[in-house]
Structure 1
Amino acid sequence: MDATSARKKAVIYRMVMPDHTCPYGLKVKDMLKRSGYEVEDHQLTTREETDAFKEKYGVKTTPQVFVDGQRVGGHDDTRRFLGKTVADPKATTYRPVAVLFAMTALTAMAASYAVTGNPFTLRAAEWFIGFSMVVLALLKLQNVESFATMFLNYDLLAKRWVPYSYVYPYAEGAAGILMVAGALTWLSVPIALFIGTIGAVSVFKAVYVDRRELKCACVGGSSNVPLGFVSLTENLMMVAMAIWMGLSALGVIPSGHVM
């Protein structure tokens, strides 16, 4: 047993006011209990009480944790004290994209199962890409201005015609919805092929030719997803889906649509 786990009693001061309960206080209290600590919980119930506490200990935030009479600190400091990792809000991560694709894949399989009784169908694969395009567009449309700003860092067409950075998420969403419905293929296929091809070329140039380290606007303008292989794959999937549905519409290959 290490030194930190041997200290079994912790004192926490946290805000619990009629109109506000500090969420970090709740998280720290739960974290300490799950780490085997007996928690002495002191609730700061007024703004005056909170301000007096901060002034007394020379701190700017609550909660504050004390172990053996020594101040450990707030939420992040307590995590470090307990040997837990502290997430860096500026660190790049593929988690948003991985979670998105996992959920759209499961949704596509669920829809396929509901319609055919089989989650593993050709239509499920088509739905997966269509659902992914719709959700990606939704994330971009939450803040189009922020998306456009990040998109302009690398998209070749947007750099030459700025309005394209605002049109893109609407086009992606419309193409995705039409592909899910299997409707107006004559419209959805050219849109997806156009934006997917430009996107793939833009990402390839920025990452593999110019060697730039950028963040991808694929899940919105405030993401920390690095521009790279995943971004390129997203665009290539869109292109592949457009080609597949175009060939299906022409009868060259079998369609996954349920009749």
Structure 2
Amino acid sequence: MPKDTSIKTATLHRMVMADHMCPYGLKAKDLLERHGFVIEDHHLTNREEVDAFMAEHKVKTTPQIFFDGKRIGGYDDLSKHLGITTNAQDATTYKPVIALFTIAALMAIAVTWLSTGSVFSGRIIEFFISISMVLLGLQKLQDVERFATMFLNYDLLAQRWVRYGYIYPFVEAGAGLLMMAGVLTWISAPAALFVAGIGAISVFKAVYIDKRELKCACVGGDSKVPLGFVSLTENLMMVGMALWMISKL
């Protein structure tokens, strides 16, 4: 009986141990299933099986995928083979800031509704900016060392006083929290105005005057967000919020 060539088959070898299940093996299995493959799923259940498999096929990692006996490679190789472009290690993306500002907007709507009973309130803008400041500060506080290092690439004050890079996340998050609560404005507004003003000038100089292509430290030290319009907007929002809060004193 002739083989049905319309059925796509793949052989997958992946680690499935009592104390470890390879995440890339699961991702490879899911990717193959989503592309309509019938999978012959081979589990490597202990270290000896893994070592023997890698020695036999002269590979250093698992999972390994085969089509009709021909080795395709691991998960990244499979993605390329199926025409799926994976992000390069240094590729730029706006996804982190889009996600952050989207969550900040939804949180602002929720807080405005809870505090005023309506979303049609001028406070929604205040909540959006202050929540964004807290979330951005939190991203930086996850790894202050890496943030401070990336920050040194373009911030004018940090380049003169290195410790400023370590202080900045605390000022940003702290000012955002105080603004959100509407307390100690005489502290939070000038602090936000100071750091955001320096930030706006630094970004403008680096991007629009010096024409440098850098990554922005706005969402942390491992950021792949390009330094530019978004970074400048973040700082200008903080400046605007600070001036607004000062005018209300």
Q: Which residue of 1 aligns with 2:154?
A: 154
Q: Map 1:17-96 to 2 at 5 A.
A: 17-96=17-96
Q: Distance in 1 between matches of 2:6 and 2:92?
A: 35
Q: Which residue of 1 aligns with 2:9?
A: 9
Of 111-120 and 52-61, deviating more is 111-120
| 1:230-250 deviation digits (Å, cap 9, x = unpaired) | 00000000000001111122x
Q: Give the paired residue count.
A: 245
Q: Map 1:83-232 to 2 at 5 A.
A: 83-232=83-232
Aligned partner of 1:52: which letter? A
Q: Distance in 1 between matches of 2:160 and 2:7?
A: 62
Determine if contact 2:7/2:38 at 8 Å carries over to the other structure: no
Q: Distance in 2 between matches of 1:175 and 1:109?
A: 20
Aligned partner of 2:185: which letter? T
| 1:41-99 deviation digits (Å, cap 9, x = unpaired) | 00000111101101111111111111111111110111122222212121011111111
The alignment's TM-score, normalised by the length of structure 2, stands at 0.95
Determine if contact 2:134/2:177 at 8 Å carries over to the other structure: yes
Q: Distance in 2 between matches of 1:82 and 1:54?
A: 23
Of 6-15 and 180-189, deviating more is 6-15
Determine if contact 2:129/2:241 at 8 Å carries over to the other structure: yes
Q: Distance in 2 between matches of 1:166 and 1:63?
A: 41
For the aligned residue pairs, the C-alpha RMSD in angstroms reads: 1.3
| 1:195-247 deviation digits (Å, cap 9, x = unpaired) | 11000000000111111111111111111111111000000000000011111
| TM-aligned CA distance change 1:70 to 1:44, over 3 Å | same
Structure 1, unaligned stretches of length 5 or more?
250-259
Determine if contact 1:7/1:68 at 8 Å carries over to the other structure: no
- Displacement of 1:103 in angstroms is 0.6
Determine if contact 1:10/1:66 at 8 Å carries over to the other structure: yes
Structure 2, unaligned stretches of length 5 or more?
none
| Displacement over 6 Å in runs of 4+ | none
Q: Distance in 2 between matches of 1:118 and 1:81?
A: 52
1:196 match: secondary structure: helix
Determine if contact 1:109/1:120 at 8 Å carries over to the other structure: no
Q: Distance in 1 between matches of 2:207 and 2:71?
A: 46
- Displacement of 1:33 in angstroms is 1.1
- Displacement of 1:141 in angstroms is 0.9
Q: Distance in 2 between matches of 1:115 and 1:129?
A: 16
Determine if contact 1:15/1:63 at 8 Å carries over to the other structure: yes
- Displacement of 1:119 in angstroms is 2.5
2:90 match: secondary structure: coil
2:16 match: secondary structure: strand
